[in-house]
Structure 1
Amino acid sequence: MKKNPFAELWEDTVPTEVPCPHLDPEDMVRRVNAALDGLPSERRPSMGQKFRFSIVLAAVLAVLAGAALAVAVHFDVLDAYFRGDTSSAEDLVDRETRSVSDPNYTLTVESSVSDDFSALLLVRVDALTEEAKNFMFSDDFNGMDTWSIHPLLPEKSESGSAATPGSWGVGYSELGDLRTESSTFWRFDVDLAGATALRVRLGYMEEGAALEFNLTPAESVTVDVDATGPGAPPLENARGGDLTVHSVTLSPLTCQAEATIADPDREADPLLFFLMEDGTLLTTGQSLTSVSAQRIQGETWSFLYRFQSVMDLSQLAAVVFDGTAYPLDGGKPHAVEIDSKLYPFYLPLMDPITEEGGYILPVEALCQALGASYEWDEETQTATCIYRDTTIVLTVGSSTALVDGEPEDLGEPVVLWDGVLGASWKLSEFWGLDTTAAFDETQTERACWVVIP
């Protein structure tokens, strides 16, 4: 069978043990649908986080399997978590490979990067026996006991073991498209809670087979805000509410906001904008992925976000909250005019297409609220929508959208019900929108779409 040019280039450029990645869109859709079955927890990940988590990963893998050979060759933890140009954070990545083996497996941390709040890891597992390989690729491999990832404080306890922070969590997923005949690849997002080192262990390896290593956190800058204003409606509260943002801490990787919710019955998330040095204003939907919200004391919370693309802090002038810019250099806060269409708005839910499917978006209403162009062609049953210089073409009955001329999977077909065009939530992702099918006041029924541009 003839090899594709990408595979031939890969073999000529990369050592033979490094896999040539491929994208399976249908498998990615299944993973997205599985992720949507998760329930809200005390850490309060938003629905937008679940959506974007899978879409960003799909975008990274699509780039790898498409034409970006240079990115694929140097695939590291930044490529596993961020989209676009990651060059400004290259110096922050620890590329020292650390491995430990037993008779069945080799565990390797291939690259890592961290800041004061979280560590991101790219991990590889190699099966050394046929039995270990069969188990690694079985459904039973990934379970509660598979991974043990512990942040470590630098001090030792009286017993001699490393002390662990009191509040931390780990998120992870397999990069399935990087599998080889005997290897799997995983990405990990670890809350550090003040830790400066990590312990990584695969539960199926011999006792004591683990990796411990120090972290070198990226520098961050904290901006004092101490202002009260409207927050963004979260998954659990379609109405939203006011909150006081005390401070915002930024690194190239994450954005952490400490804020107090004014009314405990009206939970809200910080609604932030980012003013760049060139005058560009980035919205929450364009720039952030929600990671967690953890209670500090009373109604004061720590909201942690990861940037969708690495943030070059040298190009970021100010954090904007409630129409006021707070400069990173400590300068005097000043007013910033924000287009009203960049604030959250509500849209009616359209029923799922199938029992297994999700709620769908009314396309024309979405375009009108955004100020996007919308043109309908009755003869071809096609809608052309333009927003943020991105053109999306939708055709009734098709589950493929054309995004700037390139086919993109919507997961479900476009429908036309009683003259209203409906499409999957993935439409919003193509435009960098955060869409949440929020609950009503009883938190038992979905109330509406909340759209955060």
Structure 2
Amino acid sequence: MKIKLNKFFVKTKSKSHSIDNFIYEETLNITGITSKDIKRRVNKRLNAKPQERRLYIKYRLTKFAIVTTAILTLGVGSAFATSNIDLLKELLRGDTNILQKEVRNPNTSIQNDEYKVTLEQVLAAPHDAIIVFSVEGLTKEATNALETNSMFLFESTIMLKTTPGSETKNSGYGQANFGENNTFNKKYFALEVDAIDNPKQEPLRLYLDMVNSPELFITVPMDSNIQTLDFQMNQEAEANGKKYTIEHMGINSISMVIDSRGFNIIEDALMPEIFFKMSDGTIKTKNQLVNKYKSSGSILTAYDEDGIYRFYFRFKEIMNLNDIQSVIIDNMEYTLNKKVEPKPVVIDEKLHRFESRIIEFERTEKDGPLMSVDDICKGLGAEYSWDSKNATLVFTYRGTTLELTAGSSTAIVNGQEIPLKERDYEGVNMQNGELSIPPYLLEDYFDVDYTLKYSTSMWIITP
């Protein structure tokens, strides 16, 4: 059976980019090839915690367009004080004490005849910021609009902008709505500003109605004392046989950015491989430490194809920089907290990305191809066993053991039975003596990323 691989193209100047590359540039992750896989990943993003219902809005400025997604609603269990939302505990994970003293409580307001906006809290860092504010409806009509459709606030009314004349560059922000703290006429929101370039720590502006009342805005302070380590570099890198340059890396306890020049114009380019050498000497991959759903890649200056292309990575948890000895980009090591010249290093081949065959099966055209278990385990250095009598696969990697039985709608993860993401999508498949699994299992249980390379019809697996 032939695999039907549909390709779409987005035209930009004289070049055409396949839609899979476009998605990769946008999210740093090609999100599979089937409608079911896309739906699964969207559902995962909307429901990261079972008890929460999340909607997410992401404004991403790239060379193609401003991309908008849905609104994120955080269903949180704790009660907030009216003007003292604990943004650290609600929007970040890990040891919040590291950043607690950096949170500001401006409590400044602006209003018109319909709405009152109050800046509640700000956590600013050189590469990103979290801005919490409240919106209060002052009329019945405004309250109804606020209650039924919060999206309009960010499409036509409330906007976050750089200060006119400033050198600050920002490629986007996401919005969170603190659902359980809202009242009938007042809602609390957070803007998660990422991939910002603000070396002078210039303030931003939060407008209530920029079009009709440009004079109504709140000045958002962006000066920060969060420890950030910056490295100016001139590292030559390569993608698809073409050269580009890595010019800068910055890292703090919330995030890391890598700035490159020339990457943006290379078709189907994969981002550089990134590793972290921890203080105990172990090597962690990017996928182990970074939240890919809050990471991105974009041009800092809109529509400037020759400009700086920034990779932004939000850590899964607040990091103590003392726990990271060095950052390794491709094969060049940059030591943190010490004045040591960068040096080339050799990384275990099992941590590098690799290619794997696609496996067709009877539902390939509908559900997409599978991955070869043998290829994956050889590439990752994982272990597996197959019980042919019970049609059961046991897959062990990174301290997690996944047990799958052909035809079953459940899996056993570290001894606990859990439902598979899609009941009609078998966890393991045996065909012509070849064991195969759906690609999403690697992502969900082992922090392993994957991309389908259309030009070669091969999976690219990133540990």
- TM-based fold match above 0.5: yes
| Matches of 1:58 and 1:82, distance apart in 2 | 16
* Contact 1:175/1:186 (8 A) holds in 2: yes
Which of the residues 90, 110, 113 maps onto 2:123? 113
Residues 71 and 181 of structure 1: CA distance in aligned 2, closer, same or farther (over 3 Å): closer
* Contact 1:227/1:244 (8 A) holds in 2: yes
Which of the residues 196, 213, 222 maps onto 2:220? 213
| Matches of 1:356 and 1:134, distance apart in 2 | 43
Instruction: Provide the residue aligned with 2:197 in structure 1.
Output: 193
Which of the residues 276, 294, 299 maps onto 2:299? 294
* Contact 2:162/2:169 (8 A) holds in 1: no
Instruction: Provide the residue aligned with 1:10 in structure 2.
Output: none
Q: What does 1:17-416 correspond to in 2, within 5 Å? A: 40=22, 44-47=26-29, 58-59=47-48, 76-101=86-111, 104-127=114-137, 131-138=141-148, 141-142=151-152, 144-152=155-163, 162-165=164-167, 167-175=169-177, 178=180, 180=182, 182=184, 184-190=187-193, 191-194=195-198, 196-203=202-209, 207=213, 210-217=217-224, 218-230=226-238, 243-261=244-262, 264-265=266-267, 267-288=269-290, 289=292, 290-294=295-299, 298=306, 301-328=309-336, 329-349=338-358, 361-363=371-373, 365-378=375-388, 381-397=391-407, 401-405=411-415, 410-413=420-423, 414-415=425-426, 416=428
1:101-128 CA-to-partner distances (Å, cap 9, x unmatched) read: 5565443444332222222234444556
> For structure 1, which segment, 291-300 or 264-273, has the greater mean C-alpha deviation from structure 2 after superposition?
291-300
* Contact 2:231/2:249 (8 A) holds in 1: yes
Unpaired runs of at least 5, structure 1:
1-36, 153-161, 232-238, 442-446
Offset of residue 317 of structure 1: 1.7
* Contact 1:284/1:452 (8 A) holds in 2: no
Residues 204 and 222 of structure 1: CA distance in aligned 2, closer, same or farther (over 3 Å): closer
Residue 314 of structure 1 aligns to a residue in which SS? helix
> For structure 1, which segment, 338-347 or 113-122, has the greater mean C-alpha deviation from structure 2 after superposition?
113-122
Offset of residue 312 of structure 1: 1.7
Computed over aligned residues only, the root mean square deviation of the Cα atoms, in angstroms, reads: 4.4
Residue 99 of structure 2 aligns to a residue in which SS? helix
Residue 144 of structure 1 aligns to a residue in which SS? helix
Offset of residue 150 of structure 1: 0.8
Residues 189 and 439 of structure 1: CA distance in aligned 2, closer, same or farther (over 3 Å): farther
User: By percentage of residues, which structure has more strand?
Assistant: 2
| Matches of 1:109 and 1:189, distance apart in 2 | 14
What is the identity, as a one-letter code, of the residue corresponding to 2:130?
L
| Matches of 1:82 and 1:38, distance apart in 2 | 30
* Contact 2:30/2:450 (8 A) holds in 1: yes
> For structure 1, which segment, 81-90 or 202-211, has the greater mean C-alpha deviation from structure 2 after superposition?
202-211
Count of residues in correspondence between the two structures: 394
Offset of residue 422 of structure 1: 2.6
Offset of residue 342 of structure 1: 0.7
Residues 322 and 205 of structure 1: CA distance in aligned 2, closer, same or farther (over 3 Å): closer
Offset of residue 285 of structure 1: 1.4
TM-score, normalised via structure 2 length? 0.68
Instruction: Provide the residue aligned with 1:434 in structure 2.
Output: 449
Unpaired runs of at least 5, structure 2:
1-18, 32-37, 55-75
Residues 362 and 275 of structure 1: CA distance in aligned 2, closer, same or farther (over 3 Å): same
* Contact 1:241/1:266 (8 A) holds in 2: no
* Contact 2:85/2:121 (8 A) holds in 1: no
Instruction: Provide the residue aligned with 1:9 in structure 2.
Output: none
Residue 227 of structure 1 aligns to a residue in which SS? strand
1:400-437 CA-to-partner distances (Å, cap 9, x unmatched) read: 54443556665324424453443352541432223233
1:42-89 CA-to-partner distances (Å, cap 9, x unmatched) read: 964322699999857744675999xx9789999744445544444323
1:102-160 CA-to-partner distances (Å, cap 9, x unmatched) read: 565443444332222222234444556654454335468446325411122xxxxxxxx
What is the identity, as a one-letter code, of the residue corresponding to 1:434?
D
Offset of residue 298 of structure 1: 3.6
Offset of residue 210 of structure 1: 3.8
> For structure 1, which segment, 374-383 or 315-324, has the greater mean C-alpha deviation from structure 2 after superposition?
374-383
What is the identity, as a one-letter code, of the residue corresponding to 2:27?
P
- Aligned-pair identity in percent equals 22
* Contact 2:182/2:188 (8 A) holds in 1: no
What is the identity, as a one-letter code, of the residue corresponding to 2:128?
S
* Contact 1:229/1:242 (8 A) holds in 2: yes
* Contact 2:176/2:191 (8 A) holds in 1: no
1:205-231 CA-to-partner distances (Å, cap 9, x unmatched) read: 984554322123223212244333455
Residue 306 of structure 1 aligns to a residue in which SS? strand
* Contact 1:61/1:177 (8 A) holds in 2: no
> For structure 1, which segment, 187-196 or 339-348, has the greater mean C-alpha deviation from structure 2 after superposition?
187-196
Offset of residue 343 of structure 1: 0.7
